[in-house]
Chain A
């Protein structure tokens, strides 16, 4: 079983704060790293799929970076808003992983207070 760790487990920030979370994954046999946003009572939605070392992706106020050699990815949210409150999941796909089986971390629960 692959080990995908996310930290912190939960985070409370004030509206307007910028924040970031970490996903660590095995540094060998890397194929792809996914980020998902999961709002309460909904289903996870894909934010980013990252495949290359040094990749940086951006969607509005959310961005992510990837370091495959050391096995970590950061997700950044600039100027957090209450609607950013959600659980953010990362998921790892190894190069031996045909059939695109993702291994998910347990997530970081972000709460943005107005």
Chain B
């Protein structure tokens, strides 16, 4: 969807390094979410935001932090990447009665 972009699309990083993934939306949505997708687990919520500077944890938040300093950007940071954080990460916004809109995903590999 043109209204939500994730960067980078692919990243390979080393264990122990910090990594930041960016989600950018142009639709002025209040709610934004970070999910990870792993085989056998489906989509699991990491963190979400319900407004600027308002964030909360999801079900798999350990090892991750987020920030939302402006409406359009929601950043996901892995403070010290581990191999268990190798995954595909999806950002989503909540768009009224139409359901979530997802970004294209970021494939992260931690070696």
Chain B interface residue count, CB cutoff 8 Å, equals 26
B62 to chain A, nearest CB (A): 14
The answer to whether B98 and A43 have CB atoms under 8 Å apart is no
Specify which chain A residues have a CB less than 8 angstroms from the CB of B1 in the assembled complex.
43
Interface check B102, CB cutoff 8 A? yes
In the complex, identify which listed stretch (B35-43, B66-74, B77-85) lies at the interface while the others stay far away.
B35-43
B25 to chain A, nearest CB (A): 13
Specify which chain B residues have a CB less than 8 angstroms from the CB of A104 in the assembled complex.
35, 42-44
Q: Mark A41-78, 1 if CB is under 8 A from B, else 0.
A: 01111101100000000000000000000000000000
Alpha-carbon separation in the docked complex, A44 to B105 (Å): 10
The answer to whether B97 and A49 have CB atoms under 8 Å apart is yes
Chain A interface residue count, CB cutoff 8 Å, equals 22
Alpha-carbon separation in the docked complex, A34 to B41 (Å): 18
A43-B102, A43-B104, A46-B100 known; 9 new pairs, CB 8 Å cut-off, are A42-B104, A49-B98, A98-B50, A99-B31, A99-B48, A101-B48, A102-B33, A104-B42, A107-B42
Specify which chain B residues have a CB less than 8 angstroms from the CB of A46 in the assembled complex.
98-101
Alpha-carbon separation in the docked complex, A104 to B103 (Å): 16
Q: A43-B90, A101-B33 are in contact. Are A106 and B100 (CB under 8 A)?
A: no
B residues with a Cβ closer than 8 A to A are 1, 31, 33, 35, 40-45, 48, 50, 56, 58-59, 90, 94, 97-105
Q: Can you list 8 residue pairs at the A/B interface with Cβ under 8 Å?
A: A42-B104, A43-B1, A43-B105, A49-B99, A91-B100, A99-B48, A101-B58, A106-B42
Interface check A89, CB cutoff 8 A? yes
For the complex, would chain A's binding face be called helix, strand, loop or mixed by DSSP majority? mixed
Specify which chain B residues have a CB less than 8 angstroms from the CB of A102 in the assembled complex.
33, 45, 100
Find the B residue at minimum CB distance from A48. B99
Specify which chain B residues have a CB less than 8 angstroms from the CB of A43 in the assembled complex.
1, 90, 102-105
